[in-house]
Amino acid sequence: MADVTGNATISTAGGTGDPPPPGISGTGRIRQPAALIRLLAGLAVIALTLLGADYARATTNGLAEDAAALAALVPHPLGGVATGLSTAALLLLPGFSGACRLLGTAADRRHVLQQLADGVLAAVLAYGASLAVDLWIDGRAPFSLASALTRPLPGDPLARTEPVYGYLAPVLAFLIASAARERRVPWAVLSLSALAGLAGGTATPTALLLGLLIGWTAAHGTRWAVGTPDPRPRPGRLLQSLREAGLRPAAATPAGPDRYLVRQQDGRPELDVQLLDRQAVTAALVQRAWRRLRLRTAPHPRALRSLRTGLEHEALVSYAAVAAGVRTHRIAATAELGPDTALVAYERLPGRTLDELGDEELTDALLADAWGQLALLQRRAIAHRALVPSALLVDAAGAVHLVNLADGDIAASELVLRCDVAQLLTTLALRTGAERSVRAAVAALGPDAVAAALPLLQPIALTRGTRLALKRSGRTAPAAPPGPPAPPEPDLLEQIRTEILHSRPQAPVRPVRLERLRPRTVLAVGGGVVAGWLLIPQFFATERNPLTAVADADPFWLVLALLAAATSHVMGAMGFVGFVPERLDFRNAVLAQVAGSFVKLVSPGGVGGVALNTRFLQRAGIPTAQALSSVGVGQLLGLVLHLLQVGAFVYLTGLEAGGSELEILPFVVGGIAVAGAVLATVSAVPPARRWLVARLRPLTAEVLPRLVELLRNPGRLAVGFTGQLLVSITLISCLYCCARAVGSEPGFAAVGVVFLVGNAAGSAAPTPGGAGFVDGALAAGLKWATSMDDGGIAATVTLFRLLTLLLPVLPGWAAFSWLQRRGAL
């Protein structure tokens, strides 16, 4: 039958075996995000296993030798028999599992056949992957890796074991991809096969691990690539579960993704049924886990809960809200529909959500009612966590119901409760304006409770949809009338803050730090890991150990390198104060540049130095706008000088003896041409052009006027240019002296080009001090531009970074602390 809306409707006349209409039940296949996550995790673990086996050869060989010693205790005939029997059992296991599945299934044999076909495909892929790894390790892999993964066979020293053990991978892939329900027998057979391989001396622990990992990864890769049969129940099964829960369902109509509108018999209230399946639960695993790791107020990720736990949590929060007197959906029934699916049936609430109401319908009484409902939740310490427009349902009488409590919490912390207030303030202000939203909140909660939420009025505390709505509201502001430009109107969050301060002037305004972990910290750690991964092997892959070369460095050149590194801070102070028209204490300016060596270890790229110099100028009595302009002038002119120095050193390499090998001029010209082409392309695309103009507006509005002011004082401007120029010269000299100290003799001009290009490329990295990126760029540049050997390059870069990055940290910390105590920072 069909309902009046034209949607397909399933009635109780149909049995559970009736084929559902299109769009109601997924009889096809779906790709589960969990399968993709497991595929990527499996590939990463396989890569780490191979790398670990290669780098930790002593440990890998030790485990193999221990296993071989234990295998020697087993009589050879017994070990051979055990290996043969376990191999036979392993090969028979897929057929046994498939036969049990087919014989034990009477209703949905087609579904089982699809799963068995998936298992066969996964087994073929796993066998192919195992064979490919075997061939690669035997043929093209480094000998060290092959010797770490294989051992000589007992009784035949010329033959070796396989890198990936036998049929372990395809059998495991078949069992996982075919969704075998019986676990004890398969795992017992797999375990006995692994033990027999170790006892017979035909397998190593690493080969067993690789077999299991390849099988597991191939199974989940297959499940993601071809999809899995849709585990969501047919509507007939849904209606049967509702009847078993004591309800009287008559028909089910699709009402959205995983939602059904169920009509009951005998005039009972309609039901709004929400399906919970494992795919939906794990769809946002990475995002929820990241928010949990990053934010102090993030909800516990439901993707990490079992299906039953998530169902119980949703029911518990709903019952708690009803007990608190909040108008919300009442749960009529909950039920599990299988190992992967459950349902929650709510009594249907007819009405419209906040985003479906017109502006004229948003009366003061409606706003007061919304805040009154939140007040009931706050009294019982129940957090909603998602007070977006779709969570506020308004019935025909104008009463507000708070729905969608699935992400809520009971016994919530004070911080989370204040986040709810901040979220509802913003949600209502987006529709009614800041004044009405704050006025209604103060009337319902009191000025103190609203003021307590003021430090939480920051984008990171709001939902993603609310942040996007705030951006759209800023972009759709009315155009300014003709005439002199009006001051920019504050954004909506600032307007809400202003309204709160009108009612409670003494309210705290300092934002609460909600981040546990910042993205730049993750980038810093990642950069450090990459740096270690790339540089540490260099200490052992070269004929000359870089650490030994540094320890045996020539004292004369080492002292010169140290003096050049120390002089760079003085030159940096000259380049800094020269672009500030106001008079500064030069001693403090030098200490500020030394302090920058400490600051840049806790901030990415050059951000820390810019912030420190700006703060130094502010504490010296220079207004913020002028301080930022002075720092911007230094950055702009420093960039111009940097490019001029690159051109000069490129020219000098042609005059330098032995420097003709550096043919960098075509690359420089090519880079300029590419930059010009990119600039022309950006200028031709309107959105990109607007983005570029927005980024350049501070330059034309603030930096250029400050530069014009500096032109009136040519002496100070000359000091700034000289300092900026000598900073690069001293650091180039430091790198050159480091190379000479370890016994290399590169050309000075070639070293200059390498430093200017490599330091600029590496400094753009988001890691503190350019860790990992500057080192790699300098090493690559020296290898390409000079005739230095790998050991000399590694030793030179190590010594240079030791003198310019690590050694100044302690003096930088002391200078930073001293300037803070004196009020200069």
Which amino acid, one-letter code, is at 750? Answer: A
Give pLDDT, residue 703.
56
Give residue 586's pLDDT.
86
**In sequence order, what are the beta bridge partners of 341?**
277
Alpha-carbon torsion 794, 800, 804, 810, what sign?
Answer: positive
Residues paired with residue 262 on neighbouring β-strands, in sequence order: 252, 271
pLDDT at 801 over 80: yes
Share of the chain above pLDDT 90, in %: 11
* DSSP string of 596-629, one letter each residue: HHHHGGGSBTTHHHHHHHHHHHHHTT--HHHHHH
Tens digits of per-residue pLDDT, 44-96?
888 888 877 777 666 666 666 766 666 666 566 665 666 667 777 777 778 87
pLDDT of res. 16: 37
Work out the pLDDT band at 604, boundaries 50, 70, 90: low
pLDDT digits (tens, 9 = 90+) for 312-332: 778 888 899 999 999 998 888
Q: How confident is the model at residue 563 (pLDDT cuts 50, 70, 90)?
A: very high
Average pLDDT of the chain is 76
Q: Has residue 254 got a pLDDT over 70?
A: yes
Residue 125 clears pLDDT 60, i.e. is over it: yes
Structure tokens at 121: 């495909």
Find tokens 């005739």 and name the residue. 787
Give me the mean pLDDT over the 421-439 stretch. 93
Rounded to two decimals, what is the model's pTM? 0.56
Asked whether the predicted pLDDT for residue 463 surpasses 80, the reply is yes
The answer on pLDDT for 5 being more than 60 is: no
Q: How far apart, in whole angstroms, are the C-alpha atoms of residue 667 and residue 676?
A: 14
State mean pLDDT over 36-41. 85
Q: Report pLDDT for 187.
A: 74
What pLDDT score was predicted for residue 420? 92
Of the candidates 272, 402, 236, 405, the one whose C-alpha atom is nearest the C-alpha of residue 344 is: 272
Residue 606's Cα: distance from chain center in Å?
Answer: 23
Is the pLDDT at 336 greater than 80, yes or no? no
3 — pLDDT class (breaks 50, 70, 90): very low
Q: What is the pLDDT of residue 684?
A: 66
Tell me the C-alpha distance between 623 and 614, whole Å. 10
Cα 120 from Cα 117, distance rounded (Å): 5
Highest mean pLDDT among 247-261, 333-347, 490-504, 724-738: 724-738
Q: What is the residue type of 703?
A: V
CB within 8 A of 311, min separation 6: which ones?
A: 276, 334, 336, 342, 344
Lowest mean pLDDT of 699-703, 714-718, 801-805, name the range. 699-703
CA distance linking residue 150 with residue 159, whole number of Å: 10
> Residue 766: pLDDT band by 50, 70, 90 thresholds?
low
Give residues with Cβ within 8 angstroms of 352, minimum separation 6.
Answer: 393, 394
Q: Which residues contact 524 (CB under 8 A, 6 or more apart)?
A: 604, 766, 767, 768, 771
pLDDT of 564-583, one tens digit each?
999 998 988 888 888 787 78
Greater confidence, 672 or 18? 672
Q: Inform me whether the pLDDT recorded for 530 exceeds 70.
A: no
Weakest mean pLDDT among 132-146, 460-474, 655-669, 683-697: 655-669
Q: Which segments of 229-379 does DSSP mark as H helices, in order?
A: 235-244, 278-282, 285-294, 307-323, 364-379
Q: What count of residues does the chain have?
A: 825
pLDDT of the residue at 339: 64
In one letter, which amino acid is 565? A
Mean pLDDT of 588-615: 75
Residue 352: what pLDDT? 92
pLDDT at 421: 93
Q: What is the pLDDT of residue 324?
A: 92
Rounded to an integer, the average pLDDT of 684-699 is 63
Question: In which element (H, E) is residue 249 found?
Answer: strand 249-256
**Rounded Cα gap, residues 375 and 202, in angstroms:** 69
Chain-centre distance of CA 575, in angstroms?
38
Mean pLDDT of 768-788: 74
Indicate the pLDDT class of residue 444, thresholds 50, 70 and 90: very high
- pLDDT at residue 14 is higher than 70: no
Which structure tokens are listed for 155?
């009784």
Q: For position 181, what pLDDT does the model report? A: 66
**pLDDT band at residue 110, thresholds of 50, 70 and 90?**
confident
Quote the CA–CA distance of 700 and 692 in Å, as a whole number: 12
Residue among 419, 307, 310 nearest 374 (CA): 419
